[in-house]
Amino acid sequence: MDRGGCQMSGGGGGGGGDRSGPEQPGMITLEDLESFSEDHLSDSGNGSLEEEAETMEEDDDRLLQYWQDVARGHQVEVSHDMAEPIQQLTSNNQGRSHREQVPFTLLARKDKCGELLYEKRQYEKGHWACITMREETYEQSICYGFMRLMKYICQQNSFGDYLGMTLPIVTVVRTDENHSVVSSDVTVAYFLPAEHQAQPPLPTDSEILIEIWPTTTVYTRAFTGPTNEVTIINQINALAELLDSPGVCVNNSFIVAGYTNPAHSNRQNEIWFLERP
C-alpha cells in the first residue's frame, strides 16, 4: 500500500461536504457509540459472577452488532475482533469531558455581517498516529482506517493499555490542481494525548506510523452534514473563494476535521487549508 505523507506541512489534508451533496455517511466514530446508550444494554451486577460474565459478553455482542449495522450503510464490514476496542471506547468515553482537544492558538477571524467565514489558527508541533488507506470509496477508506487506529488507541500498542481519545479525528485527502477529483489515498490521523506526547506508544500494526507534524498555520471553516467525495470538493472550493489570498495555501492537499457522528444530519466538521511553509 502506498502510505503517502500525512504531515501537516503539505503532506496531507482533508475535506468534507455540505447538505447539497449526497446524504452519505462518513467514518464511524465514538459518536456512533454514544447513540447506543446504556438503555440499550442489559443491566449487570445483580446476579452471580457467572451471570454477570454472561451479561457482559452479551452486551459486547450487542455493541458489535450495533457497529456492524451502522457500518453496513457505509458498505463496510466490521470484523469480530473489533468487539474489544468498541467495548473499551464505550466504557472509557462516557461523555465528551473525557476527550482532549487538539491544542491550537487562534490567530485571526474573518466575519461578514455577523457570520464567521473562517478562522486562522496555529497548531503546534506534535505526535500523530497515521494510517493511509486505499479502498474503493472515501467512506470505506476512513472507516477502515479509523478502526485500525481504534485498536491502537485501545490496546494494540507498546503500553498495552487504553491511551485516551482526542478530537478532532482528521482525514487527509489529496486532489488534482483543479480541485475536481479526490485521490483514492486517504490518511486518517489521531493526535496523541498530552501525557503520551513525550513518549508515544508504538503501534503493533506496522502500517500505523507515528509522525511528528510540524508547527502549522491553517485556515479553517466549519460546516455541517455528512462527508463524501462530492461534498469534499464543494467545501474546498467554498473556502478557496472566501480566502483573500488562497495562493498562500497548499493547493492539492487538505484536512477535514470531524467532531461528531458523521451519520448525524448536523455533523460538526471543519475543512482546513494548510498555509505554505
| Distance separating alpha carbons of residues 87 and 91, to the nearest angstrom | 6
β-pair type (105-112, 209-213) = unpaired
> What residue ranges of the chain are covered by domains with CATH 3.20.80.10?
96-274
Task: Provide the residue type at 21 as one letter.
Answer: G
pLDDT tens digit at each of 277 positions of the chain: 334 455 665 443 333 334 344 343 344 444 544 444 334 443 444 444 444 444 445 566 777 777 677 666 666 677 677 767 667 766 666 554 467 899 999 999 999 999 999 999 999 999 999 999 998 888 788 888 888 998 999 889 999 999 998 999 999 999 888 888 888 889 999 999 999 999 999 999 999 999 999 999 999 999 988 778 888 999 999 999 999 888 899 999 999 998 875 444 567 899 999 999 8
φ/ψ of 8, rounded to 5, equals -70, -20
User: Taking the CB of residue 274, how many other CB atoms lie within 10 A of it?
Assistant: 25
What is the three-state SS of 232-272? HHHHHHHHHHHCCCHHHECCCEEEEEECCCCCCCCCEEEEE
Q: Express the helix, strand and coil content of the chain in percent, nearest 5 each.
A: 30, 30, 40
Quick one: which of 158, 136, 131, 157 has its CA closest to 146?
A: 131
Fold of 96-274: Multidrug-efflux Transporter 1 Regulator Bmrr; Chain A (3.20.80)
